[in-house]
Amino acid sequence: MNMSSIFNKELPRSCKYCVFGKDSLISKEVLCKKRGVTNSNDYCRHYKYDPLRRIPEKVKIADGYKPEDFSL
């Protein structure tokens, strides 16, 4: 994984990626320090991207490996 995939400038703004947001344990909403309880897809003028809040997509491992591929 390269750094450009983590710090993507074209990533849509969302409270779930914001520094001021915190995930709710009860629902899929975000608890915002600036606006209170919000939808995870909303954002406001205080939005500031936090790369540590983003969970990258999982990479699928290719099939077709043989036992010889793992031996020394």
CB 40, CB 15: distance < 8 Å: yes
**DSSP string for residues in 5-71:** HHS-TTSPP-GGGBTTEEE-SSSS-EEETTTEEE-TT---TT--B-GGG--PPPPPPPS---GGGG-
Global confidence as pTM: 0.61
Confidence of residue 20 (pLDDT cuts 50, 70, 90): very high
CB 18, CB 47: distance < 8 Å: yes
Amino acid 2: pLDDT: 58
Confidence of residue 68 (pLDDT cuts 50, 70, 90): confident
CB 38, CB 30: distance < 8 Å: yes
